[in-house]
Amino acid sequence: MKSANKNALIGAAQPPGHLDFLDGLRALAALYVVVHHLQPVLATENESFLYVLLHKAFRFGHQAVVLFIVLSGFCLMLPIVRNGGSLRGSAVDFFQRRAMRILPTYFLAIAFSMVLIHYWIGAPTGTNMDGSRGYTFWHLVDHLLLIQDLTYDSTYKINYALWSVSVEWRIYLLFPVLLWAIRRWGTIPVTLWGGLLAVAAWFGLQAWPDPSINKGLCGSNPHFVGLFMLGMLAAQVVLGKEAVWEQLRQRPIWNGLLIGLVVLFVGYQRVAWSLPWVYSDLLAGLAVTALLIALATNQARLLKRLLSWKPLVSVGVFAYSIYLIHAPVLELARTYFIQPLHLRGELATMAALVISLNVVLIVAYGFYLLAERPFQRINQRSKKVRAAVPALEPVSI
């Protein structure tokens, strides 16, 4: 009986090429970020009870980005583990695939945001988009070079949500180096020491005397490298063939660990105001790591079924497009669909929530069809890429 359970667990931990629950998780995270950024639109002079609830529940938008970073490391590492610890193809092939997957859609999102600002949402409104207006040629250059997150002056211009794309792009540049280090020294030591160095880099950035350098939540976030490595570690636990990984994934500890970390994260928020916010990100990253392992090893079966719900999975397919364009689209919905209703109180909050989410989903899906899916198909048609690309292709935010 024990042997049968062991085989079942290992089988569950070695999923098919595409994992539906990852798309579901991606969809929930993208929608969470949308509602998080919707809060200034929902706010009124007399805040409704519903608004207060939404504010408390959706104030952790930064941790949703943490989820995407850990998830990206997990997705990129799964095919590496299947391939014996090596990239399929060269590092140049990897960069080409990542560039084709991420950059064209990102550049088109920049153009889309600029068009909306120029023609439809250029007037100040007191929402987050006020910081995205008034961009210059050099702000555009920073965005095209993916360095807008480095300075306060550029980070929020054009589209305040795009900062994390530049952060993740730099992590991609490190990915082959991280794989080399893991082959040389092992996954656990590299994750431990790499994570410590990443957090040390965060503290070093905070001590940097230049006030123009963005040291905030939407800055370069060097500790995200450590969170990305947690995702890589989770992939090793889920698919690694060595005895240590088999023993780890067979232990029925991941649900309990996940719950414990979530409770610790929530409790930490009561004292977080007096401590560096990097610790909050680390707790969230550890919780996401435990979540991914629990889902992939079927220890969180009910949650896995919920995340594999087809409508949610279908939204996860275009989650990258949702993230890229939701900021200006929220402003568009506010200006042309919500404000003309002149609603107040609970009804105003509910209407703003429902209208905004629907407008974002509709516009984002159209953007996906025009600006994201064509580049996915280019990758799929390439014989060279078909031979090298992993079966599970991550969508990054």
In the chain, the percentage of residues whose pLDDT exceeds 70 is: 89
Interval 232-257 mean pLDDT: 93
Say if residue 374's pLDDT is above 80: yes
Given pLDDT bands bounded at 50, 70 and 90, which one contains residue 182?
A: very high
Cα angle 261, 267, 272 (rounded to 5 degrees) comes to 110
Q: Give pLDDT, residue 46.
A: 56
pLDDT class of 386 with cuts at 50, 70, 90: very low
Dist CA 141 CA 44 (whole Å): 36
| Residue 204 to residues 26, 151, 178, 210, 346, Cα–Cα distance (Å) | 31, 16, 21, 12, 45
pLDDT tens by residue, 40-99:
777 755 577 888 888 889 999 999 999 999 999 999 999 999 988 888 888 998 999 899
Q: Which residue has the higher pLDDT, 102 or 345?
A: 102
Q: What pLDDT band is residue 397 in, cutting at 50, 70 and 90? A: very low
Tens digits of residue pLDDT in 100-111: 999 999 999 999
pLDDT at 56: 87
Res 329: pLDDT = 97
| Nearest to 142, CA basis, from 172, 170, 118, 163 | 163
Residue 382: pLDDT band with limits 50, 70, 90: low
CA distance 70 to 301: 21
Query: CB under 8 Å to 341, separation ≥6 — which residues?
Result: 348, 351
pLDDT at site 356: 95
| The two three-digit tokens of residue 96, written as one number | 């080409």
Across the range 11-18, mean pLDDT stands at 42
Q: Check residue 18 and give its pLDDT.
A: 55
Computed over every residue of the chain, the mean pLDDT equals: 88
d(CA 368, CA 181): 36
* Residue 389: per-residue pLDDT: 39
